[in-house]
Amino acid sequence: MHIVKDTVADACWCRLMAEEIRTEAEGFGSRSAKEIMRIAAESWDRIAESIERSLSGAPQPDAVANQPVTHPAWGR
């Protein structure tokens, strides 16, 4: 298990995870499974962006930092 500690290497690892998820999803036949994988990949991208902002000293946007990950099918 990889523990994210807000380093450049961690941001890169998160981007790699997102890309691996996207690549894996390309082989899925189910549209809903592809959508779930897209959401998972976007979550890893958001984690990477947060790490990158943290490393640059830029403030974290409250709107993004305080919102749960949702999906239209979940009704939230």
Structural domain boundaries in the chain: 8-74
Cα 5 to its chain centre, rounded Å, is 15
How many other β-carbons are positioned within 10 Å of the β-carbon of residue 14? 22
Task: Measure Cα distances from 29 to 15, 22, 26 in Å.
Answer: 24, 13, 8
Judge if pTM exceeds 0.75: no
pLDDT beyond 80 at 65: no
Q: What is the pLDDT of residue 29?
A: 94
Mean pLDDT of the residues in the chain: 83
Instruction: Output the six-digit token pair for 43.
Output: 């979550």
In tens, the pLDDT along 15-37 reads 999 999 999 999 999 999 999 99
Of 53, 64, 22, 55, nearest to 40 by C-alpha is 22
